[in-house]
Structure 1
């Protein structure tokens, strides 16, 4: 996977204070890079720690040594009461993630003796509900979406290849954006994911239909987008650059809406749909875990809960109201 541009820590507070939040956060991110943490992980750490630090600065708390457990608990209450621009609260998952990143940061400060001990060590994080994907497409709905791009145009042909790749492989949007031409192994019908989530490489299968659409795009129109700076990136924007994940999300959402499907989702919905439909058709969850690149089997288990077809079959065969009289 191509390396993302390093995320800089935007200045805040006293940037010259060696004990201040800003200088320590910059040092922390530098050490994460030395230890080969992904830029996605570093960006996430910066986002949540900087947000907490700015909240502290607004209360004249300018150094990590000033932070106590009661202050952290006050910030936890702030997150609980916070409302986004649409009036909605932060999800339990977002609150949990923010506090987890802050706790990890303070553990690092204590480990390097910037503070005597971590005030976040015993902070109780909110429990995360075991939610299911908000929406899953049916096989017919997927075909409606895939038929959306106008493949008579270069952009439409490219977009069809992108959608087919999502549906066939279930890869993450960041993994799709980073795909390279030499990572498509046609003879093996496989994709090579270079340093996916967790900096882990993996091979995953890709279907013949998706490969055919990729070939039509590469052979027919990719050169129309390519520039000398485009390097080996598979899917290119009209400017010849690698897609940003948010742009791919917007494209995915538009095609679902254009198909008249009233379900939320953009890119990840293909991942959920592929895994659910494959499991309903008999695929073992262990194999689905390998394809999706899940580190823990618990993550893949949600597809056992979204696969309703088998439950419907048992329900129809055993529920008294469904049994036909002889």
Structure 2
């Protein structure tokens, strides 16, 4: 059977199975790409649809350019290969192929894009100056922002800090069950330790339920704040600072790592702080060039 005929039958079968028009349209477009590629290889019948041929197709996708002249993203490549695998499975299920030639076709590796924004130190300081420290909420938010920037920990890790995890006398914070379920120790500078101590002594005790809840940061109901609340804190004061860049807790994390690298911190030290054994310093290179 010709591949073009098999493709037509497959698309009809998808419609008969009640697949969404969007899914069918995607499959039709992807298989058209495949058919065009196979045509140039003089592969027209399904018996010649083998692993080597499909690997050639997978390699061609890796080098293919979009109409704008940019490479296909790994996501786009994976979507095309996903439709290919579904088509091959259908061929096997309908006894049109003995074995599935797409089984060992690998997906492209996921890319690690640069963060959308890296803040300069002056921009960070502009955000840190926004909370009104004469109010309990403003003081708490100031501590949250300073902890985010000085430690480069994730927003969920900030929300999960418990009182027992802090040692401001020795200057460290224990992150328990971070990403990947790993614990790690993060250093705290003298200024952030003093800020936390003032918060613990003069601000936090006035919060509802503060003596019964183990978390460092509490909300107005006397419960530990959520990771989303940490995002709202950052977003609120970034808007107040009138920065044009998109800012999130992750922006603080990447900015801290970039500034540490810029100031000569050892890469291994930054990796341990971030809790990322495979952190790639070259992801910050462009930001460093811009800062210089």
Please indicate the TM-score interval, normalised by the length of the shorter structure.
0.5 to 0.7
Find the counterpart in structure 2 of residue 273 from structure 1.
255
Find the counterpart in structure 2 of residue 169 from structure 1.
151
- What displacement does 1:224 show? 2.4
Contact conserved, 1:193 with 1:203, CA < 8 A, in 2? yes
**1:250 matched to 2:193:** no
Q: 1:295 to 1:93 in 2, by over 3 A?
A: farther
Q: Residues of 2 paired with 1:96 and 1:259: CA distance?
A: 40
Deviations 1:26-70 (A, max 9, x none): xxxxxxxxxxxxxxxxxxxxxxxxxxxxxx9x9569xxxxxxxxx
Structure 1 length-normalised TM:
0.57
Q: Residues of 1 paired with 2:100 and 2:139: CA distance?
A: 54
Find the counterpart in structure 2 of residue 306 from structure 1.
287
Find the counterpart in structure 2 of residue 145 from structure 1.
127
Q: 1:131 aligns with which of 103, 113, 134?
A: 113
User: Which deviates further from its counterpart, 147-156 or 126-135?
Assistant: 126-135
Find the counterpart in structure 2 of residue 39 from structure 1.
none
Contact conserved, 2:128 with 2:145, CA < 8 A, in 1? yes
Q: 1:239 to 1:175 in 2, by over 3 A?
A: same
Contact conserved, 1:175 with 1:193, CA < 8 A, in 2? yes
Q: 1:185 aligns with which of 145, 167, 171?
A: 167
Find the counterpart in structure 1 of residue 194 from structure 2.
212
Structure 2 length-normalised TM:
0.64
Contact conserved, 2:120 with 2:255, CA < 8 A, in 1? yes
- What displacement does 1:223 show? 2.1
Q: Residues of 1 paired with 2:236 and 2:100: CA distance?
A: 46
Q: Residues of 2 paired with 1:224 and 1:94: CA distance?
A: 53
Contact conserved, 1:96 with 1:128, CA < 8 A, in 2? no
User: Which deviates further from its counterpart, 142-151 or 301-310?
Assistant: 301-310
Q: Residues of 2 paired with 1:75 and 1:269: CA distance?
A: 39
Q: Residues of 2 paired with 1:193 and 1:209: CA distance?
A: 20
Deviations 1:222-274 (A, max 9, x none): 12224178521000111111112122112211101100111102211111111
Q: 1:96 to 1:243 in 2, by over 3 A?
A: farther
Q: 1:282 aligns with which of 264, 267, 270?
A: 264
Q: Residues of 2 paired with 1:118 and 1:295: CA distance?
A: 37
Q: Secondary structure of the residue that 2:180 maps to in structure 1? A: helix
Find the counterpart in structure 1 of residue 277 from structure 2.
295
- The structure with the larger Rg is 2
Q: Residues of 2 paired with 1:230 and 1:121: CA distance?
A: 55
Q: How many equivalent residue pairs?
A: 216
Find the counterpart in structure 2 of residue 160 from structure 1.
142
